[in-house]
Structure 1
Amino acid sequence: MLHAPPAAAPLRSKTIGSCRCQQHEAEQQPDLALNSYADAATATHHWHFRQPEREVAASANQTPIPPRSRPKRKTKTHHRSFHPPSSSSSSRGARRQSLYGPRAPVPADRPTAGLEIDYHHSSEHLPPPSTHEPPARARTAAAPGSRSAMGSGAGGSKLESPLLGPAAASRGGSGHGEAASGELEGILSDASLPWRRRMAAATLVEMRLLVRLAAPAVVVYMINYLMSMSTQIFSGHLGTLELAAASLGNTGIQVFAYGLMLGMGSAVETLCGQAYGAHKYDMLGVYLQRSTVLLMATGVPLAVVYAFSRPILVLLGESPEIAGAAAVFVYGLIPQIFAYAANFPIQKFMQAQSIMAPSAYISAATLAVHLVLSYLVVYQFGLGLLGASLMLSISWWVIVVAQFVYIVTSRRCRLTWTGFSWQAFSGLPSFFKLSLASAVMLCLETWYFQILVLIAGLLKDPELALASLSVCMTFSGWVFMISVGFNAAASVRVSNELGAGNPKSAAFSVVVVTVLSFILSVLISVVILLCRDYISYIFTEGEDVSQAVSQLTPLLALTLILNGIQPVLSGVAVGCGWQAFVAYVNVGCYYIVGIPLGCLLGFYFDLGAAGIWSGMIGGTLMQTLILVWVTFRTNWDKEVEEAQKRLNKWEEKSPQLLD
């Protein structure tokens, strides 16, 4: 029902359905209510209408006249003024129909030759937004502090876009991952679907996202592992001393720097992932530069340690010959430190945007070149250990330069990389705290099983213990690369969903990625158990080693199963920004429980390598159970609020230095 306002009141613009009218702001009087179409026609001097002429023709069963062929009409009617039809009137009608549903039939006694008013605009005729919105834009779970998607007024209801939805200017930069993310939240929030159908549809969407993220990440980490292993193989063919030196440099000093740099780079993974989900694209480039500055500064003291590696190794008990050869190898790895400092922030920057495939292609091409050049440098040019390690450093720098060129030139990064900024040098102390917590969390995990090997060297038969453990650790390292890929996928998915304000999608992603990684690790463990009597022959022909490996295989299978869960939950922790909490958990479970328990079983109860490994598995199991308990009792709505607070804390505007 329409109400005619008093004649003397001021006018304001208002939209009703597809008509634009001007309505008085004064209170509408009941005695002025118009109860017939005739009364509406007599009161039109208070209303200014825009005639949808093509729709009028359709409602009168007439053939609509194309807009360009209809001549402009000039009307001097005092009661109304008509505007020439717009070429977008049909598109407006289509958009209105997609939002509000089809028009109701026009009454037979309704006049169609004159003006047309949409009488079906009120809130009682308006279906919920999730019914007619595309799934990719459905946002039924509003972000903290956001207004409802529906706002009602005196004249009807108005649709408002969600607070955390993509802005019109930034939709061009959103990729398929963002659309699928919104689709997932819409499916999980659609109460009209049966529970099983909803879970099946959501699982399909999430699996598609995880495969796109995890598969390239696994390839990247596998190739990085192969590059270091190939360098060690080339060095080993030079002689036994060179093999020992390369092994000591790779598994000792180089792993220390790798874990520290990768851990500190995880701060970028948290902030960039949440900023990308919140559509604060310009901040991703700032976080990338800030982390690079911080890691480059950290690389300076590490380079000093590399330079004095020989006396350090002698002090730790290594023979002067092995320490001297290892120092030569480590000297060539000094440029690799700063390649780490540039690569890990770039890698996390691209992962946060679900850009994984380019890094895999770049790493694969670099590996092929690395193998050829390493052969030439080591054997043809005779540069030995120094040449092998220098080629490894150069290969890492090739990866860094290629990825940065992709970032600068790719259209996929045009919103996230806007040039160098002075802001990269601001807030470094606070950023260092988050980076340090990330580094401690990862290093405690990385060094844990390195300590297992060191302790095994103190047993009664160290040669057999070390040989059997090295075979098992090699298989564990290969399978761990798969878990690290799921770790990266979990971190990206959770951080993106929290930044976008999608708590249901974040929680669902955690469940799917954990279950998927667990199933895969169980299958691999079954294969390992079936081949327990044969896997050692890949590395050696000794019967004693084969028997020892067969006895340790059940522990290896249990370790693989735990590694299918624990790294994924660590990735969830990184996505949520829980690095400091997980660091405390790692200290308690690994170094207060795991290592002392392993030493007790291995030496006091004389269980040897199996006892040491069993105790350390106990520490890993305790850590995994704690992370499972904390993760699945998390209030994800609160995590969305924390993500927004974290982004607001780090978001500081500053002028550009170079575009």
Structure 2
Amino acid sequence: MGTYSVVETGPKSAEYAMDRLPSSKQGPAKEPTSPIQQVIKELQKLGGIAVPVAAMNLVVYVRAMVSVLCLGRLGGLQLAGGALSIGFTNITGYSVLFGLASGMDPICGQAFGAQNWALIGLCLQRTILILLTASIPISLLWLNLQRILLWLGQDASITAVASTYCLFSMPDLLVNCFSQPLRVYMRSQGITAPMMWCSAFAVLLHIPLNILLVFVLKLGVPGVAIAASWTNLNMVLFLLAYLRYSEVYKKTWGGWSRAAFKEWWPLWSLALPSCFAICLEWWWYEILTLLAGYLPNPKEAVGSTAILIQTTSLMYTIPLALSASVSTRVGNELGAGRPDRARVAAMVALGVAAVAAVGHLGWATGLRNVWGRLFTHEERVLALTASVMPLVGLCELGNCPQTTGCGVLRGSARPAAAARINLGSFYLVGTPVAVVLAFHLKLGFAGLWFGLLAAQAACAVSVLYVVFTTDWHLEASKARQLSDGNPSVELPGNYAPPRDVHVEAQSDEESASLLPLKPTLAYVEGKSNHNDMWHPGSG
């Protein structure tokens, strides 16, 4: 008895059909054949995803800065309490949700390349449910922030402000359970320009929202937190409005399905290591801030650390966009059974990352004496910041390639490798180097950043080794093998093929060269906006 497959009859059907046929049945190749042509073509595809994503990351960074500026206007106590709360929520909440949502990358990216449309929508539903489940213990932790900070010996007045900010940020936790999966869902399909415009419009409204809530209605710290949550909610509503009225969702969304409530483990198996890989790096920057507080000049060291972390957050927008984009590109090509193109996508992205790294080094070195004045006029803090800025630039020589390389690993469904590398690089290399240089060899503040440099160097070397030794044909065959050899999940009851698509009966022999209609999560089993303030990660 034959099987059924979805065949698209629209303008893209010929291209997809030729890609799926064995090489002996294909006609003359229309794709660029020379290496230069392939690189140029890939740069166009990568740029089409990366440029809007980078712009979106930059816009969300501006939103974060507006919130920080409003806290500063309220006073030093409010700024300190807000910063403490932001650090706590990043560590315990936003990094976790962002990391778990990154588990969608290989599933949606490869499913899109393989034209498993229904699987993309099903993965979105499962991820939302997983994030909602994860938000329950996170919210309980946030509710007890004041007790936790007092137990850790924090100042009572600062803790009270931090607790207030955290309490009014709880709606944002719920919003992130939808915003993070939506971004991956759209990016995996190459729908990035609308995300950029929706984010820009939401951030434009963020400024008057802060003025209204914080200064006109005099809500103070709660007003800043409410404005941030409201802005994220606006982003989600704008994205949903775009999806609804553009009707681009119809290919992949068949409505909520009971299938979304079962077979979570294949997604969990990718989401958990993705979460660990991202959190291990984010958390290290918070550890860096804590270590700065133990130096002989803690006030200046912590103040300079805050400036430098904001600086790395700004520079991180580019490698983060490259990471997200190459994850999509590699996933699309592997899912479509094109391992050579997946390899080209990875190499081109790493080349762009190297250029960006050199640019960041030049920028950090050239502006070292003026950049800090945007944040403070305290001369000691400025001197400390200027002395370390070149080190921050050197860190980017490792950060840009390793962040991009981690995107390659996510796109090829290998987030566990990235998690192991981050654990070893940041905690077995970076932390000991930072502690020894800063405290035992008396290098002080610079010693901490030499620790980061060592961590980034170790991470970059390890990630690049894994990427360069990848057997791309094996990775593609893994994806195909898993999709053909595992039980399928049921489609939503009201799922119907999209317009310009019809279902054709095929013999068993014919169907062997095509992916089955029924998608399987096992088929894909094989990482800058959560709240972006005060750490280098964003999204």
Counterpart check, 1:654 vs 2:491:
yes
- State the superposition RMSD in angstroms: 2.2
Q: Is the 8 A contact 1:299 1:338 kept in 2?
A: yes
Counterpart check, 1:414 vs 2:250:
yes
* Residue of structure 2 equivalent to 1:485: 321
Counterpart check, 1:324 vs 2:160:
yes
CA distance in 2, matches of 1:382, 1:472: 31
CA distance in 1, matches of 2:214, 2:495: 41
**Residue 520 of structure 1 is aligned with which of 346, 349, 356?**
356
* Residue of structure 2 equivalent to 1:187: 32
Q: CA deviation at 1:658?
A: 8.4
Counterpart check, 1:511 vs 2:343:
no
TM-score normalized with structure 1 length: 0.70
Counterpart check, 1:643 vs 2:482:
no
Structure 1 residues 172-207: Cα deviation after superposition (integer angstroms, max 9, x where no partner): xxxxxxxxxx96xx334xxxxxxxxx1121111111
Q: CA deviation at 1:646?
A: 4.5
**Residue 365 of structure 1 is aligned with which of 177, 184, 201?**
201
Counterpart check, 1:402 vs 2:238:
yes
**Residue 180 of structure 2 is aligned with which of 344, 367, 381?**
344
CA distance in 2, matches of 1:306, 1:370: 24
1:621 maps to amino acid? A
* Residue of structure 2 equivalent to 1:38: none
Pair 1:255–1:526, CA change in 2 (3 A): same
Counterpart check, 1:270 vs 2:106:
yes
2:65 maps to amino acid? M
Counterpart check, 1:374 vs 2:219:
no
2:171 maps to amino acid? P
- Structure with the larger RCO, 1 or 2 (CA within 8 Å, 6+ apart): 2
**1:39-50 matches, cutoff 5 A:** none
Pair 1:160–1:502, CA change in 2 (3 A): closer
CA distance in 1, matches of 2:373, 2:167: 35
Pair 1:135–1:404, CA change in 2 (3 A): closer
CA distance in 2, matches of 1:399, 1:646: 36
Q: CA deviation at 1:292?
A: 0.4
1:343 maps to amino acid? S
Q: CA deviation at 1:255?
A: 4.6
Q: Is the 8 A contact 2:18 2:27 kept in 1?
A: no
CA distance in 2, matches of 1:208, 1:645: 30
Q: CA deviation at 1:506?
A: 0.6
Structure 1 residues 511-556: Cα deviation after superposition (integer angstroms, max 9, x where no partner): 1111112102202311321222222222223333333223212211
* Residue of structure 2 equivalent to 1:176: none
CA distance in 2, matches of 1:658, 1:327: 45
CA distance in 2, matches of 1:534, 1:312: 38
Pair 1:290–1:461, CA change in 2 (3 A): same
* Residue of structure 2 equivalent to 1:466: 302
* Residue of structure 1 equivalent to 2:97: 261
**Residue 285 of structure 1 is aligned with which of 97, 118, 121?**
121
**1:114-129 matches, cutoff 5 A:** none
**Residue 54 of structure 2 is aligned with which of 218, 221, 225?**
218
Q: CA deviation at 1:446?
A: 1.1
**1:32-431 matches, cutoff 5 A:** 139=19, 148-150=22-24, 159=25, 186-188=31-33, 198-431=34-267
**Residue 631 of structure 1 is aligned with which of 442, 467, 474?**
467
Q: CA deviation at 1:464?
A: 2.1
CA distance in 2, matches of 1:646, 1:617: 39
Counterpart check, 1:609 vs 2:445:
yes
Q: Is the 8 A contact 1:484 1:568 kept in 2?
A: yes
CA distance in 1, matches of 2:389, 2:227: 36
* Residue of structure 2 equivalent to 1:588: 424
CA distance in 2, matches of 1:397, 1:646: 37
Q: CA deviation at 1:314?
A: 1.0
Q: Is the 8 A contact 2:253 2:495 kept in 1?
A: no
Pair 1:160–1:134, CA change in 2 (3 A): closer
Pair 1:259–1:651, CA change in 2 (3 A): farther
Structure 1 residues 548-574: Cα deviation after superposition (integer angstroms, max 9, x where no partner): 223212211111222211110011111
1:419 maps to amino acid? G
CA distance in 1, matches of 2:150, 2:399: 34
Larger Rg: 1
CA distance in 2, matches of 1:587, 1:322: 32
Q: CA deviation at 1:389?
A: 0.7
Pair 1:658–1:274, CA change in 2 (3 A): closer
* Residue of structure 1 equivalent to 2:279: 443
**Residue 456 of structure 1 is aligned with which of 276, 282, 292?**
292
CA distance in 1, matches of 2:294, 2:402: 28
CA distance in 1, matches of 2:162, 2:423: 30
Structure 2 residue ranges without an equivalent (≥5): 1-12, 497-539
Q: Secondary structure at the match of 1:312?
A: helix
Q: CA deviation at 1:413?
A: 2.7
Q: CA deviation at 1:257?
A: 1.1
Counterpart check, 1:569 vs 2:405:
yes
Q: CA deviation at 1:471?
A: 2.4
* Residue of structure 1 equivalent to 2:433: 597
434-443 vs 519-528, greater mean Cα deviation: 519-528
CA distance in 2, matches of 1:640, 1:443: 28
Q: Is the 8 A contact 1:407 1:417 kept in 2?
A: no
2:228 maps to amino acid? L
Q: Is the 8 A contact 1:494 1:572 kept in 2?
A: yes
CA distance in 1, matches of 2:281, 2:465: 19
2:59 maps to amino acid? I
* Residue of structure 2 equivalent to 1:78: none
Q: Is the 8 A contact 1:135 1:187 kept in 2?
A: no
**Residue 376 of structure 2 is aligned with which of 540, 550, 570?**
540
CA distance in 2, matches of 1:446, 1:161: 49
Equivalenced residues, count = 483
Structure 1 residues 410-468: Cα deviation after superposition (integer angstroms, max 9, x where no partner): 23332112221111111123422321111111100111122111111101111222223
Counterpart check, 1:558 vs 2:403:
no
CA distance in 2, matches of 1:419, 1:602: 56
TM-score normalized with structure 2 length: 0.85
Q: Is the 8 A contact 1:422 1:657 kept in 2?
A: no
CA distance in 2, matches of 1:624, 1:368: 36
Q: CA deviation at 1:647?
A: 4.3
Q: Is the 8 A contact 1:602 1:612 kept in 2?
A: yes
CA distance in 1, matches of 2:400, 2:17: 33
CA distance in 1, matches of 2:32, 2:487: 32
CA distance in 1, matches of 2:280, 2:487: 27
Q: Is the 8 A contact 1:275 1:647 kept in 2?
A: no
Structure 1 residues 629-650: Cα deviation after superposition (integer angstroms, max 9, x where no partner): 1101110000101222454558
Q: Is the 8 A contact 1:422 1:654 kept in 2?
A: no
Q: Secondary structure at the match of 2:347?
A: helix
Q: CA deviation at 1:492?
A: 0.6
